[in-house]
Chain A
Amino acid sequence: EIVLTQSPGTLSLSPGDRATLSCRPSQTIARSYLTWYQQKPGQAPRLLIYGASNRATGIPDRFSGSGSGTDFTLTISRLEPEDFAIYYCQQYDTSPITFGQGTRLEIK
Chain B
Amino acid sequence: QVQLQESGPGLVQPSQTLSLICSVSGGSINSADYYWSWIRQHPGQGLQWIGYISYSGTTLYNPSLRSRLSISVDTSKRQFSLRLSSVTAADTAVYYCAREASYGRGADSWGQGTLVTVSS
Binding site for B on A (CB under 8 A): 1, 30, 32-35, 37, 43-47, 49-51, 54, 56-57, 88, 90, 92-93, 95-102
Q: Which residue of chain B is the closest to A54 with respect to CB atoms?
A: B105
B75 at the interface (CB under 8 A from A): no
Which residues of B are at the interface with A, using a C-beta cutoff of 8 A?
46-49, 60, 62-64, 96, 98, 101, 103-108, 110-113
Assess the A44–B106 pair: CB atoms within 8 A: no
Contact A99 B106 (CB under 8 A): no
Check if A50 sits within 8 Å of B48, measured CB to CB. Answer: no
Question: Can you list 29 A-B pairs, Cβ within 8 angstroms, ordered by A?
Answer: A33-B104, A35-B105, A35-B106, A35-B107, A44-B110, A44-B113, A45-B47, A45-B96, A45-B107, A45-B110, A47-B106, A49-B106, A50-B101, A50-B105, A50-B106, A88-B47, A90-B47, A90-B49, A90-B106, A93-B104, A95-B60, A95-B63, A96-B62, A96-B63, A97-B62, A98-B49, A99-B46, A99-B48, A102-B47
Distance in angstroms between the alpha carbons of A30 and B49 in the assembled complex: 19
Q: What residues on B are CB-neighbors of A97 within 8 Å?
A: 49, 62
Q: If A44-B96, A44-B113 touch, does A32 touch B108 (CB 8 Å cutoff)?
A: no
Q: Please give, as numbers and ranges, the residues of chain B lying within 8 Å of A50 by CB-CB distance.
A: 101, 104-106
